[in-house]
A and B are shown apart, each in its own frame.
Chain A
Amino acid sequence: MATATQLQPLLRIEGVYKVYPKPESGGSFTVLEDINLTVMPGEIVAILGRSGSGKSTLLRSVAGLSKPTKGVVYSNGKPVDGPNADVSMVFQSFALLPWLNVVENVEIGLESKRLSAAEVHRRGTEALRLVGLEGFEKAYPKELSGGMQQRVGFARAFVVQPVVLMLDEPFSALDVLTAENLRGEIADLWEAGNFPAQSVVLVTHNIEEAIMLADRVVVMSSNPGRIRGEIRVTLARPRERNSSAFRAMADHVYTIMTNPETKIMPVAHESSSLVDTTALPHARPGAISGLLELVEEYGGPEDVAVISDRLRIEADDLLPILDAAVLLQFANVKEGDVTLTEIGRTFADGEVEHARMIFRDQALKFAPLVRTMHEVLVSARGKPVHEDFFLDILDEHYSDEEARNQFETALNWGRYAGLLEYDSDEKTLQAPQAHDE
């Protein structure tokens, strides 16, 4: 039991699971597995994970928008059951009502609070001032740029004076410069000490964003979503993106994110299964080849963060490509640096036909799903096999959506490698035949 001098946690997530049933196959799919997390007053916690790690689902469980299958979320000591009045949320897509003007959109949060008109007006104006939208009260959302729209989103979340502010990838729908600007302003607001919420939970896939804003970065793994561990960010505020300490921190987190096996904290080992379900990273062969050529061009090992920066690709989009290159043994990643292997160099340099042959060999060796599909088609002796055959197998290991994605990635790779043909009308796969007709 905590003593009076100790702070009480604002949020306590205890053993939360989220399992979705799959009506077609009768099975189920686990999005969140045994999540335990507390949020103390006065901290910013970033939840960092790739797409499919269930981080947004976790946020929605805390906000009371979706009920956990198992486990409890405590908010201010009370279990959350229904919409959580202590938190307010900023959405990735802004979620503004197009038929209301800026001030009406902001004041929507006060609708349920039964305040006097004067009080509503005072609070609305104050929230708009905080995000720098004075003078835009009567504008409609579609007259505003994306950055301005998200400011309205922030003002709407601020106006209810929540205990905890929940940010669901609030900057990822904005262009790079606008996102940087808004992120900086939110950081300033926090550092100035008059932030309209006691704590913040930020869901993101952007490593630098997490380090820029958070006191703690909680790293989640995908399929199923689990907490891999957490990293304390002790950098002094205001943080400098180009400081060596910041860069070192970013490299460290990049290393963790590119190596799913790295243990941050001891975690239970995954169970083994009958089929080798090593998930394929969703990258197109063309993208893999493009990335390798780029690294080759710069010569020598290249920093992941630098590549991401130079290409202006979000880490979430870059990482699958890197993963694919590593899986196919075209590249190695060590301490956040990318180096090409011998075969990777040949692949990057080779002309089209040659590169495809190399890709074919590597995919057969290291991409189990592509190999399985190839083997099935070969043993079918040129007869078409319906895609459902493969989807059904994948369905036992992945959500419907992920099964589809896995299938499509394997399809892409297999087609590029000339290992299979696909008829999109009939939805059948076939081993390639000599074209004689």
Chain B
Amino acid sequence: MIRRAFPPKYALPRSPIGMSDVVIIAGLFLLLYGIARVGSGFFVAFKPPLMQPKVSLDPANLPYYAARSTLRMFIGLIASVLFTFAYGYACAKSHRAEKVMIPLLDILQSVPVLGFLSVTVTGFIALFPGSLLGLEMASLFAIFTGQVWNMTFSFYHSLITLPKELDEAATVFQFSKWRRFISVEVPASMIGLVWNGMMSFGGGWFFVAVTEAITVNNKSYTLPGLGSYVAKAVLEKNLHALASAIVTMVVLIVIIDQLFWRPVVAWAEKFRMDKSTASSQATSWVLDLLRSSKLPRILGRQWRKFQQRIPKVRIHFPKRTRFQLRWKRKKPRFNMDILFGVGIGMVVMAAIALGVHIVSTEVPAQEVAKVFGLGILTFLRVICLIVFASLVWTPIGVAIGFNPKLARLAQPLVLIFASFPANFLFPAATIIFIRVGLGLNAGSIVLMILGAQWYVLFNAIAGAMAVPNDLREMATNMRLTGWPLWRKLILPAIFPAWVTGAITASGGAWNASIVSEVVSWGDKTLKADGIGAYIANATTVGDAPRIVLGVSFMCIFVVASNRLFWRRLYALAETRYRLG
């Protein structure tokens, strides 16, 4: 029988609006005010080189600059999401679009975004003459291109692997295309989208930092933000300002993680398809606050009431069922497809011919060979980086991953490290290189490692955490220790995770080479021999043929190493070393 007296906590009278509502309303107002205040800076008059926004090193301005950079990041994110839906949907739904757009996507994500800055910056400034908006757009475009590709891939992949029953259910219940998209396709791809969005967003800070202060075609442009603050600090050799910018950046990443990504990740958990709940469910205090507040529910009720009042307008598209679609696919129209293929082929050929023509008229043949050599040098740096990060971080990652308590603590920390734009640390590293007398040929490897190593660590932890307990128990029971244990169990088990981490790290390193092979502190500039420095140099002086040459070679290196090396390792990981 029950003899326990329950505390009558639930019986306490509750005011219609709780503390959480007050907090949320206050937060909402702050956010709106902030956006209005910061956003107005986007339309400031701008007539280079006479009228340029000034960046002041006064630390009191740091919150404003941080807000400007943050706003850019979120606009870039929204653009990426919209693009992802459109592009991913088109690829998944149209056979022909898929044929062209997927390989294109594959190339685009291998292309070093920073290589095109000279084109985009001059282009956008010409589009919006007399306003800072042009420069803002160029920066947004760089952030967007840095974020969007893997989100699009993730969405496309979710769409084509949509569980068959869901697809059939949507057909049976005669969902319209819009309804199917909103209630089936987006929810089914939500988790992948959120995770990829979070990872790309972290990578986006790097591009913000680069594009806020940039020299193209011998002209320097600045956008107020954390990145330009750092650039100015470097120019004026102001160590104190540099340090406060780094601290601000860390605080900013933590705040956005807590206020935005944690809640979104925790919320997205409800879209998980497999019943097996993740070992550690993501939780967020912000989401709890939102859920405990009555405000969203009140607003929701009002919205529904409002919706019921407006008459429903339905646009009827001719219905095409899935069945018909499939039937159509089975009957290929040879002529059209061939025509389509030839057309695309001609466009590609023309583009290549144009590129070759531009390069060959301006650049002597031996320079082409030299650029290839520079590519090899940068390639060697990337290899050094992968080897170093793997040797150092894999054992540490495994040790962390095998200890669940430590892993829960370490994983979010590593994510924050990975989000931190490494180029904020470049000036500090540069000072050390100058003091020690280390040339940038070796030093740039260190710079690349600063940014890319975290992906290897993060994936090593995740891989070790995913090793089933019974396999570890079996190894203990069979008394495997030391090297045999690593050889037979640990290395094969974390191999897929390592491949993922290494691919991400090497992709990041190629992009980073453009900013890490030329660095400066005050009036001192260090330079390394490499294709990154070559592109950076050509961008600064606005030498179009050399930009095309450098970027093309870098693309060839990236695509070739992906195709010949990483893709094969990935296939091996998927077939041979997949657990469960």
Q: Could you list which residues of chain A lie within 8 angstroms of chain B, going by C-beta atoms?
A: 60, 63-65, 83, 85, 87-89, 91-93, 95, 97-100, 108-109, 111-112, 156, 160, 274-276, 368, 371-372, 375-376, 379-381, 383, 385, 389, 393, 425-426
Give residues of chain B (459-507) contacting chain A, Cβ–Cβ below 8 Å.
468, 470-471, 473-474, 476-481, 484, 488-489, 492
B3 in contact with A379 (CB, 8 Å): no
Q: Mark B1-25, 1 if CB is under 8 A from A, else 0.
A: 1111010111100100000000000
Closest 8 CB pairs between A and B?
A95-B474, A112-B479, A95-B470, A380-B10, A99-B492, A109-B478, A385-B10, A89-B477
B356 at interface by CB-CB < 8 Å: no
B488 in contact with A111 (CB, 8 Å): yes
Provide the residues of chain A in CB contact with B14, threshold 8 Å: 383
Distance from A161 Cβ to chain B, minimum over Cβ atoms (Å): 13
Provide the residues of chain B in CB contact with A83, threshold 8 Å: 476-477, 479
Distance from A226 Cβ to chain B, minimum over Cβ atoms (Å): 24
Complex: chain A residue closest to B474, CB-CB: A95
Given A97-B492, A112-B479, A274-B3, are A89 and B579 neighbors across the interface (CB < 8 Å)?
A: no
B576 at interface by CB-CB < 8 Å: yes
Provide the residues of chain A in CB contact with B492, threshold 8 Å: 97, 99
A95 in contact with B471 (CB, 8 Å): yes
B578 at interface by CB-CB < 8 Å: yes
Q: Could you list which residues of chain B lie within 8 angstroms of chain A, going by C-beta atoms?
A: 1-4, 6, 8-11, 14, 270, 291, 468, 470-471, 473-474, 476-481, 484, 488-489, 492, 576-579
Distance from A235 Cβ to chain B, minimum over Cβ atoms (Å): 31
A89 in contact with B481 (CB, 8 Å): no
Distance from B71 Cβ to chain A, minimum over Cβ atoms (Å): 31
Distance, CA A361 to CA B3, complexed state (A): 21
A93 in contact with B468 (CB, 8 Å): yes
Using A95-B473, A109-B478, A275-B2 as known contacts, list a sample of 19 further A-B pairs with CB atoms less than 8 Å apart, ordered by residue number in A: A63-B477, A65-B473, A65-B477, A83-B476, A83-B477, A85-B479, A87-B477, A91-B473, A92-B470, A95-B470, A97-B471, A108-B478, A111-B480, A112-B479, A156-B478, A383-B14, A389-B9, A425-B291, A426-B291
Distance from A218 Cβ to chain B, minimum over Cβ atoms (Å): 22
Provide the residues of chain B in CB contact with A375, threshold 8 Å: 2
Distance from A166 Cβ to chain B, minimum over Cβ atoms (Å): 8
Provide the residues of chain B in CB contact with A274, threshold 8 Å: 3-4
Distance from B328 Cβ to chain A, minimum over Cβ atoms (Å): 37
Provide the residues of chain B in CB contact with A95, threshold 8 Å: 468, 470-471, 473-474
Provide the residues of chain B in CB contact with A63, threshold 8 Å: 477
Provide the residues of chain B in CB contact with A376, threshold 8 Å: 6, 10
Provide the residues of chain A in CB contact with B579, threshold 8 Å: 98
A275 in contact with B477 (CB, 8 Å): no
Residue among B2, B471, B474 having the largest count of chain A Cβ atoms under 10 Å: B474
Provide the residues of chain A in CB contact with B489, threshold 8 Å: 97
Distance, CA A85 to CA B6, complexed state (A): 52
A389 in contact with B478 (CB, 8 Å): no
Distance from A24 Cβ to chain B, minimum over Cβ atoms (Å): 13
B11 in contact with A380 (CB, 8 Å): yes
Provide the residues of chain A in CB contact with B484, threshold 8 Å: 111-112
Provide the residues of chain B in CB contact with A381, threshold 8 Å: 11
Distance, CA A389 to CA B484, complexed state (A): 49
Distance, CA A393 to CA B4, complexed state (A): 10
Complex: chain B residue closest to A368, CB-CB: B2
B11 in contact with A108 (CB, 8 Å): no
Provide the residues of chain B in CB contact with A156, threshold 8 Å: 478
Provide the residues of chain A in CB contact with B488, threshold 8 Å: 97, 100, 108, 111
Provide the residues of chain A in CB contact with B6, threshold 8 Å: 376
Distance, CA A97 to CA B489, complexed state (A): 7
Provide the residues of chain A in CB contact with B470, threshold 8 Å: 91-93, 95
Distance from B572 Cβ to chain A, minimum over Cβ atoms (Å): 10
Distance from B24 Cβ to chain A, minimum over Cβ atoms (Å): 16
Complex: chain B residue closest to A112, CB-CB: B479
B478 in contact with A160 (CB, 8 Å): yes
Complex: chain A residue closest to B495, CB-CB: A99
Complex: chain A residue closest to B491, CB-CB: A99
Distance, CA A65 to CA B9, complexed state (A): 44
B473 in contact with A389 (CB, 8 Å): no
Provide the residues of chain B in CB contact with A93, threshold 8 Å: 468, 470
Given A83-B476, A385-B10, are A112 and B481 neighbors across the interface (CB < 8 Å)?
A: yes
Distance, CA A87 to CA B478, complexed state (A): 9
Distance from B38 Cβ to chain A, minimum over Cβ atoms (Å): 33
Complex: chain B residue closest to A437, CB-CB: B301
Complex: chain A residue closest to B492, CB-CB: A99
Provide the residues of chain B in CB contact with A99, threshold 8 Å: 492, 576-577
Distance from B332 Cβ to chain A, minimum over Cβ atoms (Å): 35
Distance, CA A372 to CA B3, complexed state (A): 10
A383 in contact with B474 (CB, 8 Å): no
Complex: chain B residue closest to A113, CB-CB: B479
Distance, CA A99 to CA B291, complexed state (A): 45
Distance, CA A381 to CA B12, complexed state (A): 11
Provide the residues of chain A in CB contact with B270, threshold 8 Å: 425
